């Protein structure tokens, strides 16, 4: 399904004008956003923030065009956007952050079957290609399948529904990858699972984060 979505996006680009994924205005070939929407992206602090015990860094706030890109990747099958997201992450990441093994935050099996791909894994692969890193898809999610959308702040801080566990032994240095971070509770659960398998240094990169978290 993911490959099919890529093919549709590629063929669409050949025969139709490239439109901005945020405002639907014209965008230059190879660009996910038009010039105006690119300028309006809200960039956040260049330093990582500590969320649920995990140093987390993202180049953009989860608002406006950045939010539209995340939703297109997650809900509209626009997996080609992962490369544009990875470009923002790699180009702006603090020095020394992108070192170690990239580990995508897992998607629940039922959601993976329905969507056909894990958006975090797609972003991780794109980051790996640009940064010359390796991806270790070693985390799995089990238990109830409940989306974070609609859960209140207390529920999100309590952690993800169900549980997260590691299947393989990662390297000592791990960089978690996700599309969006809010409270960081899911990243904290991932960190705990990785630490149980020998990871000593766990950080995270995301494309966007909710401001004020």
pLDDT tens for each residue of 99-112: 999 999 999 999 99
Spell out the domain ranges in the chain. 39-144+161-209
Determine the topology of domain 39-144+161-209 in CATH.
Rossmann fold (3.40.50)
Q: Check residue 1 and give its pLDDT.
A: 45
Helix (H) or strand (E) holding 104: strand 101-104
- The dihedral over CA atoms of 123, 97, 136, 59, expressed in degrees to the nearest 10, equals -20
pLDDT at 3 over 70: no
The answer, yes or no, to whether residue 131 has pLDDT greater than 60, is: yes
In contact, 180 and 62? CB cutoff 8 Å: yes
For residue 151, the model assigns a pLDDT of 42
In sign, the C-alpha dihedral spanning 118, 5, 149, 125 is positive
Mean pLDDT of 59-80: 96
């Amino acid at each position: 399904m993911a490959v099919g979505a890529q093919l549709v996006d590629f063929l669409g680009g050949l025969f139709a004008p490239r439109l901005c994924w945020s405002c639907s205005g014209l965008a230059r070939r190879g660009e996910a956003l038009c010039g105006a929407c690119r300028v309006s992206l809200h960039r956040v602090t260049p330093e990582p923030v500590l969320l649920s015990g995990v140093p987390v860094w993202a180049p953009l706030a989860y608002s406006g065009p950045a939010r539209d890109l995340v939703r297109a990747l997650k809900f509209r099958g626009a997996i080609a956007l992962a490369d544009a997201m990875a470009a923002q992450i790699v180009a702006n990441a603090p020095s020394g952050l992108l070192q170690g093994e990239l580990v995508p935050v897992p998607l629940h099996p039922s959601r993976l079957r329905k969507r056909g791909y894990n958006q975090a894994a797609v972003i991780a692969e794109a980051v790996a290609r640009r940064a010359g890193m390796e991806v270790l898809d070693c985390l799995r999610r089990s238990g109830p399948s409940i989306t974070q959308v609609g859960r209140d702040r207390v529920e999100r801080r309590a952690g993800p529904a169900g549980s997260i566990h590691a299947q393989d032994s990662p390297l000592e240095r791990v960089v978690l990858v996700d599309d969006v971070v809010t409270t960081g509770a899911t990243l904290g659960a991932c960190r705990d699972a990785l630490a149980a398998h020998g990871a000593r240094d766990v950080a995270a990169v995301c494309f966007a984060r909710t401001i004020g978290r």
